[in-house]
Chains A and B, each alone.
Chain A
Amino acid sequence: MKFIIKIILSAFILTSATTSFAETKDCFEKLNRGIFSFNQGLDKIIFKPVAKGYSYLPNIVQKGVRNVTSNVSHTVTIPNHLLQGNFKNFYNDTGRFLINSTVGIIGVFDPAQKLGFKKIDQEDYGQTLGFWGVGTGCYLMLPIFGPSTTRDAVGKVANSLLDPFYLTTVGDQTVLDNNFGDSTYYMERGFDNVDFRAKNLKSFENLEKNSVDLYATVRSLYLQKRENLISNSFTSEDEWKNFK
């Protein structure tokens, strides 16, 4: 454990503060590629078949699941709006969460949208760290969880440990019954991931078929996506303006 902490800390120190996404170093590329192959194996035998099965469910069921998991994610998004000083989005998502959790029956339906509370991008602690100017650190491929960076991995831990949903289900066993609390949390997480995988079945297949180095493609897409999320912009820096 100490060894892992040392690696994370050294990766942070080595590539901190000024590192932009385009310059994010793949400090552990060999290890990352190994974990990527392991994840691909897991995906092939578990996640993809489960997601395929899930994709046969009626659209209305899938939409309901997506709405519930999206509603639960507000428990991480809302405090991060505050931490980033984004009061407009804080107000919007608090409204969405309160309306959809009650009138929308634990988020199955999305009446908030009709009342003017728009669905906006999710926020997390990794994004807040980025917003505060913390460098990305090294690129990491986590077992099961997939692509990340040292900063986002720290954010991921905070996403669980500071999440009121986690704290009331897994953390505080007095709120919900011991087993019921755990299973509620892990079922929600499971559904969220299966839904994401099912939504991207075609895109992933396309990537696998058309990449000459799938690992590098996934790394690039992940880093671009995070860059856009942190800057709250839709496109990364336009390098074409100066291209000759």
Chain B
Amino acid sequence: MIKKIVLSITLVFFFLNTSFAFEKKAENFILETTQNAKKIILDSATSEKDKKKQLEKLALDAVDVTGLAKYTLGQERKNLSDKQISEFVSTFKVFFSKNLSNKLTDYSDQEVKVISSKKISDSYVLVNSKIVSVKDKQEISVGWRVFLIDGNLVIRDLVVEGLSLARTQREEFASILANKEFEGLIQSLKKYIANN
């Protein structure tokens, strides 16, 4: 009887530990990624152009850009050929890295504090954080949707003050697809890439 109780408790602790381990890993992954981004932004020895390149690389390593690209196509993905999807994914990758590095270079004096995390599924954790501005102490809530894909942790979405960046991007693209169709979307992305 005692053996059974001990075994049950051990198993409960084992499962709890493995569950928390995933959440803890996701939290550490976010802290590490944001600290690396901050290091790049604050490095005075690096030129702005090189900083952008480094941030673009960091973004491509930390984010599941292929998954994100497919998500942003929404329902339209079903109507596209494999060739069109792969053309979109490769264009989106460049667009995304430039877009994110543009956004990140504007932030310099912020501290990221991980508040909590919640396991949504065996491969998905939502990490809640606060980004605090050192200058005026203003706080912004940011949620990170972290997934375990092929053994690697990757970010798929950022939820800033309750607003999902992936959903915003998808609805932006849906509008372009409705007005200019697939070719128009590719052209819009290429235009953005050329200008940045």
Which residues of A does B touch, CB under 8 Å? 59, 202, 206, 209-213, 215-217, 219-221, 224-225, 228, 233-236, 238-241, 243
Contact = CB atoms under 8 A, between A and B. Distances in A.
Given A240-B124, A243-B71, A206 B106 contact: yes
A228 B172 contact: no
Interface string B147-176: 100000000110100111011100111111
A209 B162 CA distance: 22
Interface of B: 67, 71, 99, 102-103, 106, 120-121, 124, 126, 136, 141, 143, 145, 147, 156-157, 159, 162-164, 166-168, 171-176, 188-189, 191-192
Among A206, A219, A224, A236, which residue has the most Cβ atoms of chain B within 10 A?
Answer: A224
Nearest to A229: B162
B176 A212 contact: yes
B103 A216 contact: no
A211 B172 contact: yes
A243 B67 CA distance: 9
A221 B156 CA distance: 18
Contact of A213 (B143, B163, B164, B172): B172
A27 to B, nearest CB: 13
B176 A216 contact: yes
Contacts of A236: 162, 164, 167
Contacts of A243: 67, 71, 156
Given A206-B103, A240-B145, A234 B172 contact: no
A210 B168 CA distance: 12
Contacts of B126: 238
A9 to B, nearest CB: 26
Given A212-B188, A213-B175, A216-B176, A240 B157 contact: yes
Contacts of B176: 212-213, 216
A215 to B, nearest CB: 7
B110 to A, nearest CB: 12
Contacts of B102: 206, 209-210
A66 B139 CA distance: 16
Contacts of B156: 240, 243
A206 B140 CA distance: 16
B150 to A, nearest CB: 15
Given A212-B191, A217-B172, 9 more contacts: A209-B102, A212-B173, A213-B176, A225-B162, A225-B163, A228-B162, A234-B141, A236-B162, A240-B156
A216 B189 CA distance: 15
Contact of B143 (A220, A235, A241): A235
Contacts of B136: 59
B103 A210 contact: yes
Nearest to B189: A212
Nearest to A205: B106
Contacts of B120: 238, 240-241
B172 A235 contact: no
Given A243-B67, A243-B71, A212 B164 contact: no
A225 B103 CA distance: 21
A202 B172 CA distance: 20
